[in-house]
Copies of this chain bind each other. A is one copy, B any other.
Amino acid sequence: MNFTISKQAFGNALAIVGHAVSSSSPQPYLRGIYIEASGNELVLTGSNADISIQKKVIADDENKLNIVEEGSILMEASYLNEIVKKLDADIISVEIIDGSLTRFAGSEAVFKINGMNTNDYPKIDFSKPMSSISMPASLLLEIIDQTTFAASTKETKPVLTGVNFHLADNVLKCTATDSYRLAKKTLDFKSDADFNITIPSKSLNEVRSTMLADAENIEIAQNDKKAQFWSEDMVLQTRLLDGGYPETDRLIPSEFTQKLTINRNDLIHAIDRTIFIKTDNITVDRLILSADELVLTNKSQEIGESTERLNGKYEGEPIDISFTGPYVMEACKVLHGDTVNVNFTGYMKPIIITCDDDPSVLHLILPVRTYN
């Protein structure tokens, strides 16, 4: 193998593929990036137990890729990153000089680094499943931002650590819940495909950081084993979470008895001010709402209390309801619009947060029982 390439283009490709590398894995090859040069393209692959990323660099005027001799290497990602980041030239050359010993050269600086045996690298099946849908990268970004935060971070119910994508009858529902709160984005989505898969949140966040900024469109292909996210020059493949995703639609009330309409940022800031007031390490905020007065309060035996009068519009009977402050704050943060609706159906009944400017999204938060 022997090629030259723009340092920046090579560095970018390594950084993207590096997202799938387990830098602390005891398996050396999982700490490595596999690079194959053939024809007029370089294919870089990184993989760990959850995701695999393959990125192509096709020779063009910008990346200045020139393949002199085809071949492949497998090398520790951290060495590749260090060398390519710091080499003293804009165009660098990469050449196998003996077995897996690889020479990297810039202007004056030359490195001869030990690679690994390419046969050690697992054969990763990147074949594309038949069933796929396509959407703008900006829409996928919105789905990821508006749902993943509500997924569970505990491994007790693994399926809840992901986001459920359910496509049927031209409706796509994306749902995340940790059983205390739920985020759901529902979209009209014309497609022959139908599926019901749960994708790990971590994988979705890697999709977000590796491909959404640069791509126009993302194709999502899936079967019951894996999902793939394709852009023009890369694919990120993730395992799916096993187990049936809970049926959540029936948990969501459709009629409400009380409704608070309030400026989104005002509510975020009011809750944020109370975050440090914790009881048993949880910030429990309390809304006391009536036609006369809207009050957000928090009381902790140890720390003290806060009270804040809110400006907003309230409809319905008075209510006094407590909830985990950060849950409501995080839900409000991902909505797009100046005003949010906080809907109630009674004491100890789910709180539903919606936004008229962004009707595709709904957040459900379970209230907390308090004894003061």
By a beta-carbon cutoff of 8 Å, the part of chain A in contact with chain B is 76, 78-79, 82-83, 86-88, 101, 108-114, 269-270, 272-273, 275-276, 302-310
Residues of B within 8 A of A88 (CB): 269, 273, 308
Residues of B within 8 A of A272 (CB): 86
| Subset of 22 A-B contacts with CB under 8 Å | A79-B276, A79-B303, A79-B304, A82-B273, A82-B275, A82-B276, A83-B273, A86-B269, A87-B273, A88-B269, A88-B308, A101-B304, A108-B309, A109-B270, A109-B307, A110-B308, A111-B304, A111-B305, A111-B306, A113-B304, A114-B302, A114-B303
In the complex the two chains form, what is the Cα distance from A275 to B78 in whole Å?
A: 12
In the complex the two chains form, what is the Cα distance from A79 to B79 in whole Å?
A: 44
18 more A-B residue pairs beyond the given contacts A83-B273, A101-B304, A111-B304, with a C-beta to C-beta distance below 8 A = A79-B303, A79-B304, A82-B275, A86-B272, A87-B273, A88-B273, A108-B308, A109-B273, A110-B306, A110-B307, A111-B305, A111-B306, A112-B304, A112-B305, A112-B306, A113-B303, A113-B304, A114-B302
Residues of B within 8 A of A87 (CB): 273
Asked whether, in the complex, the Cβ of B269 is within 8 Å of the Cβ of A114, the reply is no
Closest Cβ of chain B: how far from A265's Cβ, in Å? 11
Closest Cβ of chain B: how far from A339's Cβ, in Å? 18
Chain A interface, DSSP helix/strand/loop, else mixed: mixed
Cross-chain contact of A308 among B101, B109, B305 (Cβ < 8 A): B109
In the complex the two chains form, what is the Cα distance from A307 to B112 in whole Å?
A: 9
Ranked nearest first, the 9 interchain pairs of A and B with the lowest CB-CB distance are A113-B304, A82-B276, A109-B308, A86-B273, A108-B309, A111-B306, A114-B304, A110-B307, A112-B304
In the complex the two chains form, what is the Cα distance from A178 to B256 in whole Å?
A: 69
In the complex the two chains form, what is the Cα distance from A305 to B79 in whole Å?
A: 11
Q: Which residue of B lies closest to A307 (CB)?
A: B110
Q: Which residue of B lies closest to A110 (CB)?
A: B307
Cross-chain contact of A306 among B109, B273, B304, B310 (Cβ < 8 A): B109
Q: Which residue of B lies closest to A276 (CB)?
A: B82
Q: Which residue of B lies closest to A296 (CB)?
A: B109
Residues of B within 8 A of A310 (CB): 108
Closest Cβ of chain B: how far from A14's Cβ, in Å? 14
Residues of B within 8 A of A303 (CB): 76, 79, 113-114
In the complex the two chains form, what is the Cα distance from A108 to B296 in whole Å?
A: 10
In the complex the two chains form, what is the Cα distance from A4 to B275 in whole Å?
A: 24
